[in-house]
Structure 1
């Protein structure tokens, strides 16, 4: 009886130790942690397998203990880590044990390229700073052959030299070619790419598809988009291409492309465009699109003598309802944009409904989409713009009308001008415009130039040398004194820009003529919204163009240097208010009119006339309100 009691006492500590094993999820205090969930094993001897796990020691004290797999207690590995540190530690197991993935693992991956055993217990026997044992459940694996699979389903008709490529993206946005394969319209294969430790994903790449259009010898290319097992088509440029990486289970890239065809006017220029996958990225990014702030080109063709066209190698995704494309057809400067169901639009922005909507786009969801027929000549309507003025007699620049197409996310002055022209004495101007949405600007033209009398016979001190000599036509005493003739040389250039032979000699006490970027307007200008549709009004009366603010001032220079004919400019960076200019008279005074209410930046000699600098002291900004007059004081020019 006594011996049995003693035996029980001897066995009790072992029993207690066996019971004091905790999983990390249990509320037990310990300092050693394993953060590895998957452990790749490889042979290290005739009887053993080895792998690596990440171990961390939390707290200021050093962590010591052993690591071992269940069933391989005879292969404990010691560890010793400084406090608050992390390290990769070796772990081993017996070959043939239950945790051995070679002997007992289930096949995994697309091609069964590795084996795995799930739910393996990895023990951490922490001796210091705490005497405790915890276990983690991990998956042991054989090393996988890292692969990037591609399954191609494309219409190869009319294409040659088709290739699929892997590119590594370098710093700065450049790429380097890593691998390239020839492909056909239906190909399934893979690129090999080494995995990381414990079968973690391999390096990141982007995938490019390339081909040559046999009918035009054009080189076509786009970047694949999607995730493993799914595609969302392709992108024209690298930025939107999605990353592909080899994985232990195998990254699978489905790839689809097709052809859009139809009938257009004979010899028409036909192009297929697609908006970017996302309208985000900011104004700068959207400006870089092939059609700024709208879409990129994916293919083009010239219609044959019968009007037939065919544009191949267009990527699409595996969701049938996705709408991707619009077909633009152009003949002799006139164009139309084709949407789904034969809808016709006057511009790329109109197809997107001026809000980046894809609802009007054409859905390509198969190898061939025919019947995309189009006649050039967008649906138009003549609209007469009727301008109104108050408080001043308008100049020709006040009467100038510009039509800009609305672009979401862009300020008025950043949107494209689609039509312009001056009104008549009735202050009206008619425009034939495609259906769409527009801005109407009256009296806001700043990009104009004209000839003005000058106190100087020429500007040769500035307009000379290799870089400026070609601009010598901008100033002269007599037109015929310029090199060349009416049909050649600088004299001809001046005539093209509006110079005439009646500009000879002195004019009103002046010595010559100058061509300057200057437009005199007195009104602040107006901006109004315009929608052109089959039912829109035939006349658009603008809001009243009131007299703008006036800013007067004087430019001075030291040392007896001239302050005559120096450009003074008032500009606003908000993207909605136009700049106004004037150049100083023979006394150095300036008078800038036509200013809308707002804050302006003042600059002197902004066009570098006569080759002097731009530095000055005095007011550099001014805030004005329309209808009022202000003084900028004296601007002391230092150039």
Structure 2
């Protein structure tokens, strides 16, 4: 059918042509922009961020529909991005327009006047209580990797009616500014105090934070009409410290505040003034009538404050006393806020009464089980009471009471009660060598030569025979009894040899555990280099040999580096060869 060939050929050509037309835009694609708001200069210039994904440079012209006479050429390098500038002097009459760029899809944009700077402003006002002088507000720009920079400071804020204002650069095309935080500093009661501004997310004041990390991050945006308002208020806490009915004069009073939220970072929690618990907002001393006032405290509807007179008790809501920082903060059970603490309304807090003579519990401690031989060191009978702290290992928690007594007075809260777990004691021990002059030669040891003449050495050396035990106890009421049961500890024996005879006979062998539950124990080698470390709880220990028992400096040796111990059993590690 020859007569059909021309029609088929024509149809084929038409199909190919349509395919070429349909894929042409895809072949031209490779340039794009996501810019939708463009800040225009008075001369009618604006810029959009354009990205070229082609292997070759993207180039052509750019213009706004209706303003083709103002076309401008552009070029974007292959696989890169840059600002492309266009011109439209009639943008004020027609702010909404369509931007056309060679190789890119048409883009609808909104054109508006360029705003180079926005403002962060507000007031720092005294809501009640003692005033503050020398108030200043610092503006800090927040950077990456903690590279925070103090950008500007407004001084003598109270002389300007409490007002402050900072000018900050806006982002490209009226985008958000950089991130900032405000630091408020002032003097009240002769003490310089400071805190970081916190907002409630809707422009209101939510209080202050003592550490920068908990301060509110501030950005100026076009949605705020390029103005961020950050007002702040401060007030005071007034009260009296008594012991029974008698006012306590001249005692220190500390106002503490828990962090606004609990960080998951152990480093951040360690950096708090009271580790893992609270920060100090201010201190003062009671007058002759036991009265005090601490001002320049940021107001807050949240319960974040507590009062700590000297003497160990902590006072919160209802002036109820607690025994520890962690008890009043109650982080153990409450991760958001706590009813045990105090809010600080704009009217301030007054007429607080803190009776340090009441609210304590007399705790009697009874110890059973193995108590050590009659020749046992006091460490086996040494009682230690530590403050419970969420997220902290037992042996790193603060000691609140320690001694050989069996009766302690504590405020309400959680405590670790330990017996026979003292981590170390320091004592002077007589050297078996009558002349150690040779050891004390040189610049680094010469000033200790008096030790040689007295034949003594300073060593951390606690002989213990019990494994030690501990118990978490909630202390409450007027009196209570705590029962602990101890057990005979395990031991590790061995021998240390060295190339020289003298060093091996006065080496300290130390066994350490890093699980936060077992203490370390030590022993000195005898005249033959033998040692026996006693009083070990079951577990795995690292072996350390100290050549310099004055300073506890470890030295390398050949032999086992770790050992597993069972309570009540001895484990020999054989010979440890000390390297000179």
Same fold, TM-score > 0.5, yes or no: yes
Determine the structure 2 residue equivalent to 1:309.
292
Q: CA RMSD in A?
A: 3.1
Kindly indicate whether the alpha-carbon contact (under 8 Å) linking 1:345 and 1:378 is maintained by their aligned counterparts in 2. no
Equivalent position of 1:558 in the other structure: 499
Q: Which residue of 1 aligns with 2:107?
A: 135
**2:177 is the counterpart of 1:181:** no
CA distance in 2, matches of 1:610, 1:294: 33
Instruction: Check 1:254–1:228 CA distance in 2 against 1; reply closer, same or farther (3 A cut).
Output: farther
Structure 1 pair 189–414 and aligned structure 2 pair: CA distance change class (3 A)? closer
The answer to whether the aligner puts 1:376 opposite 2:356 as a matched pair is yes
Work out which of the residue numbers 70, 75, 79 in structure 2 matches 1:75: 70
Count of matched residue pairs: 539
Helix, strand or coil: the match of 2:380? coil
Matched residues in 2 for 1:617 and 1:192: separation? 66
Aligned to 2:341: 361
| Cα distance, 1:74 vs structure 2 | 2.7
Given the superposition, is the C-alpha separation of residues 430 and 473 from structure 1 closer, same or farther in structure 2, using an over 3 Å criterion? Answer: farther
Q: Distance in 2 between matches of 1:458 and 1:363?
A: 66
Give the corresponding residue for 2:244: none
- Quote the Cα distance in structure 2 between the aligned partners of 1:269 and 1:66: 74
Distance apart, 1:379 and its partner CA? 1.5
Which residue, 270, 276, 282 being the options, matches 1:287?
Answer: 270
Equivalent residue for 1:278, pick from 239, 254, 261: 261
Task: Specify the SS of the correspondent of 1:286.
Answer: helix
SS at match of 1:277: coil
The answer as to whether partners of 1:568 and 1:606 remain within 8 angstroms in 2 is: no
Deviation at 1:277, TM superposition (A): 2.2
Deviations 1:184-231 (A, max 9, x none): 295345211222321233344332212122xx4221222222357233
Distance 1:135 1:612, change over 3 A: closer
Structure 1 position 122 matched with structure 2 position 98: yes
Paired position in structure 1 for 2:198:
225
Q: CA deviation at 1:97?
A: 5.1
1:41 aligns with 2:40: yes
Q: Report whether the alignment pairs 1:522 with 2:499.
A: no
Q: Residues 415 and 472 of structure 1: is their aligned pair in 2 closer, same or farther, counting only changes over 3 Å?
A: farther
Q: Pick the aligned partner of 1:534 from 473, 477, 494.
A: 477
Identify the residue that residue 14 of structure 2 maps to in structure 1. Answer: none
Equivalent runs, 1:10-89 vs 2, <5 Å:
30-44=29-43, 49-60=44-55, 62-89=57-84
User: What is residue 214 of structure 2 aligned with on the other side?
Assistant: 240
For 2:120, what is the secondary structure of its paired residue?
strand
CA offsets, 1:520-578, max 9 Å, x none?
Answer: 21221111111110176x22111x32222221100111144441121000101121111
User: Closer, same or farther in 2 for the Cα pair 1:42/1:139, shift >3 Å?
Assistant: closer
3-state SS of paired residue (2:483): strand
Say which of 187, 199, 206 aligns to 2:181: 206
Relative distance call for 1:600 and 1:240 in structure 2 (3 A) is: same
The DSSP-based 3-state class of the residue aligned with 2:523 is strand
C-alpha deviation, 1:81, in angstroms? 3.0
Q: Which residue of 2 aligns with 1:17?
A: none
Distance 1:455 1:561, change over 3 A: closer
Equivalent in the alignment of 2:379: 397
Do structure 1's residue 159 and structure 2's residue 107 form an aligned pair?
A: no
The aligned residue for residue 165 of structure 2 is 190
Deviation of the 1:362 alpha carbon: 0.4
Q: Quick one: distance in 2 between partners of 1:380 and 1:469?
A: 51
Against the structure 1 CA distance between its residues 398 and 471, is the aligned structure 2 distance closer, same or farther, given a 3 Å change threshold? farther
- Counterparts of 1:604 and 1:390, CA distance in 2: 29
Structure 2 residue runs without a partner (length 5+)? 1-20, 242-247
Q: CA deviation at 1:42?
A: 0.9
State the secondary structure of the residue aligned to 2:318.
helix
- Contact preservation (8 Å) 1:316, 1:324: no
Structure 2 residue matching 1:279: 3-state secondary structure: coil
SS at match of 2:158: coil
Query: Contact 1:458–1:513 (CA<8 Å) still a contact in 2?
Result: no
1:634 CA drift (Å): 0.9
**Which SS does the other structure have where 2:342 is aligned?**
coil
Give how far 1:441 is off: 1.1
CA contact (8 A) 1:475 1:515 kept: no
The separation in 2 between residues aligned to 1:526 and 1:458, in whole angstroms, is 42
Deviations 1:594-639 (A, max 9, x none): 1111111111116534998622111111112222221111111113
The SS at the match of 1:94 is coil
CA spacing shift, 1:29–1:465, aligned 2, 3 Å: same
Aligned partners of 2:27, 2:260: CA distance in 1, in Å?
49
Q: How does 1:324-335 map to 2 (within 5 A)?
A: 324-330=304-310, 334-335=311-312
Q: Secondary structure at 1:516's aligned position in 2?
A: strand
Q: Normalising by structure 2, what TM-score? A: 0.84
In 1, distance between residues paired with 2:331 and 2:553? 45
Contact 1:613 1:638 in 2 (8 A): no
Matches of 1:611 and 1:345 in 2, distance apart?
39
Q: CA deviation at 1:462?
A: 4.7
**Following the alignment from structure 1 to structure 2, what is the Cα–Cα distance between the partners of residues 602 and 548?**
17
Partners of 1:345 and 1:566 lie apart in 2 by: 46
What is the CA distance between 1:168 and its match in structure 2? 4.3
- Answer whether contact 1:41 1:143 (CA < 8 A) is retained: no
Report matched runs for 1:621-636 at 5 Å.
Answer: 621-636=562-577
